Amino acid sequence: MTCPFEKKIRSTSFVVTSELTPPKGIDLSEFFAKADALKNSVDAINITESPRARMAVEPKSVGHLLQDRGIEAIVQITARDRNRIAIQADLLGGCLLGIRNFMFMTGDDPKSGDNPEAKGVFDLTTMELLAAARSLCNGRDLAGNVLHGVPQMCIGSTLNPGSRDFAREVENARRKIDAGSQFFQTQAVYDTDSLARFLDAAKLGDAPVLAGVIPLKSAKMGAWLSANVPGIQVPLALIEELKDAGPQGEAAKGVEIAAGTIRRLRNICRGVHVMGIGWELRIPEILRAAGIS
């Protein structure tokens, strides 16, 4: 059975996703409050897996609880913490819990997180994660052993169109399609023309691309993203706009900039992935300003 999210990315609809990080602990009240605020504005919500290598509740159980609330989940799976046996077991377990959408990525080095003594596993590359999921959907595990009952998954991966190594990122995008990626979510995009050039070079065919959007709360945030996050370059003109808005007007200007970016992206790709980073409750406002109901 095709899940609602997969149907949407296969259609001509403009798809909107967002993401939430589970807490360090079992109190999900704040998490659910944010999810409920997004419920009528997005098509699905990514559940992150201990981002920045900071330990949090594992995502597939949270995704299951989210779907019980009528919100479709996309569960992130990283290569960082488990070997191929555990990853395949978790994918099957997630499918048993009603999860159908998975997003695969390498994951951050544990040394940069809040448990720096942890050993990174990285048994599989992102390509191999995708291949493992595709193999399970074809009825065999990664070693070729036959499954008793075949899962269904909608398989996604990430793109970084702002990578300094443009040619390598284009090549990786094509390899990910070959490995089984059915859709993509990108790193945050501020220069929509550069994304258009990347997509033209990558020639991804029918694979839907959801462009990343991180709303800028302030000029300081824009400068920090450019300086510290690989693949993100906030144009100086946008930082100046935020500065000119002043302390009282930066937030409103940030909403305006994000909405304008989304309007331009509607002519370039199949959807957006809006990462609130503390501004989750403002995402519906941003989408309305962009003309998306």
69 assigned to some structural domain: yes
Structural domain range at position 117:
13-159
CATH code, domain with 129: 3.20.20.220
> What is the tens place of the pLDDT at every residue in 11-37?
989 999 999 999 999 999 999 999 999
Is residue 114 in some structural domain? yes
Question: What is the pLDDT, as a whole number, of residue 1?
Answer: 61
User: What's the pTM?
Assistant: 0.96
Q: Which residue has the tokens 């300094």?
A: 164
281-284-286-292 Cα dihedral, nearest 10 degrees: 170
Which of 44, 49, 144 shows the shortest CA–CA distance to 104?
49
26 closest CA partner among 51, 53, 55: 55
The alpha helices in 43-124, defined as continuous H runs, are 59-68, 84-96
At residue 230, the pLDDT reads: 85
Q: Are strands 44-47 and 154-159 parallel, antiparallel or unpaired?
A: unpaired
The answer as to whether 109 is a domain residue is: yes
**Does some domain include residue 183?**
no
139 CA to centre of own chain: 27
What is the total count of domains within the chain?
1
- Note the pLDDT of residue 231: 85
Does 106 map to a domain?
yes
Specify the pLDDT at position 213. Answer: 98
Tally the residues of the chain: 293
What is the phi-psi region of residue 205: left when phi exceeds 0, alpha when psi lies from -120 to 50, beta otherwise? Answer: left
On whether the CB atoms of residues 185 and 135 are closer than 8 A, the answer is: no
Residue 290 lies in a domain: no
Q: Is residue 268 part of a domain?
A: no
pLDDT under 70: residue ranges of the chain: 1
Residue 208 lies in a domain: no
